[in-house]
């Protein structure tokens, strides 16, 4: 998959090692039964939601529930419809902090908007989880604050920024600094990167 990514987006060659490390970090996270958190602002907020969508349901694979899992679920609720079980797909646990509308707006109103994602990380994060921080400049105050709180909790931080990396690059355990500076161009390269990450992780855990 990496070969295809770089053939389609050769400019990402400069980020190859960081992308591989991020993928392995996510695999290790899920092997340990941990979860992924994501955050960003504006277009990066939409990307944070997008990543969660690819992880929590089938992306390139259908991820049907195993017969063993179906039978186990029916031991808890024998009347569970086969139609439900046959429709559901295995998910990789992930939460977009951007989607916590009530929490975020309450914290912005009552406390300080700069720390709204930090508050969510504090409440949801556990040791060995992963936080994916998206910021085209790498300097978004609320994203950087979330990264700091994540590190303080033993959470691995993956940064996704533009080529300068900004402050986030000094905080993150691994920072994928795509080789663009203009916001929309950075976001255009973030999408194939996180699609690669999601596909690689999915391929590790699911056969079909």
Percent helix, strand, coil in the chain, to 5, is 60, 10, 30
Nearest 5°: the CA angle 173, 177, 179 is: 165
User: Where do the structural domains in the chain lie, given as residue ranges?
Assistant: 2-63+90-205
For residue 208, the model assigns a pLDDT of 74
The single residue listed with the structure tokens 């109103």 is: 109
Q: How far is 140 from 159, CA to CA, in rounded Å?
A: 12
- Calculate the CA 118 to chain-centre distance: 16
Q: How far is 160 from 62, CA to CA, in rounded Å?
A: 27
Check residue 136 and report its DSSP letter. S
Low-confidence residues in the chain, pLDDT < 70: none
**pTM for this predicted structure:** 0.97
Q: What CATH topology corresponds to 2-63+90-205?
A: Rossmann fold (3.40.50)
Q: Which long-range contacts (CB under 8 A, 24 or more apart) does 83-89 make?
A: 89/57, 89/58, 89/62, 89/63, 89/64, 89/65
For residue 165, the model assigns a pLDDT of 97
For residue 140, the model assigns a pLDDT of 98
Q: How far is 25 from 29, CA to CA, in rounded Å?
A: 6
The predicted-structure confidence for 184-193, as pLDDT tens digits, reads as follows: 999 999 999 9
Cα dihedral value 115, 54, 197, 149, nearest 10: 20
For residue 12, the model assigns a pLDDT of 98
Cα Rg, the chain, nearest whole Å = 18
Nearest by Cα to 158 from 142, 143, 174: 174
8 Å CB contact between 181 and 138: no
Q: Determine the 3-state secondary structure of 93 from DSSP.
A: coil
């Amino acid at each position: 998959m990496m070969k295809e990514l770089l053939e389609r987006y050769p400019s990402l060659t400069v980020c190859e090692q960081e992308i591989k490390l991020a993928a392995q970090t996510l695999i290790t996270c899920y092997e340990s039964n941990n979860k992924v958190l994501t955050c960003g602002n504006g277009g990066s907020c939409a990307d944070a939601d997008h990543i969660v969508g690819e992880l929590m349901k089938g992306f390139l694979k259908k991820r049907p529930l195993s017969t063993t899992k179906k039978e186990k679920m029916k031991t808890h609720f024998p009347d569970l419809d086969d139609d439900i079980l046959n429709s559901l797909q295995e998910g990789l646990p992930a939460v977009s902090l951007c989607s916590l509308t009530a929490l975020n707006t309450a914290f912005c109103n009552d406390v300080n908007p700069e720390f709204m994602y930090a508050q969510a990380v504090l409440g949801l994060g556990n040791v060995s989880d992963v936080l994916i921080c998206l910021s085209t400049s790498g300097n978004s105050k609320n994203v950087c604050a979330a990264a700091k709180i994540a590190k303080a909790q033993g959470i691995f931080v993956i940064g996704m920024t533009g080529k300068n990396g900004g402050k986030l690059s000094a905080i993150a355990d691994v920072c994928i600094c795509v080789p663009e500076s203009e916001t929309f161009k950075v976001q255009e390269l973030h999408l194939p990167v996180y699609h690669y990450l999601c596909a690689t992780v999915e391929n590790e855990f699911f056969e079909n």
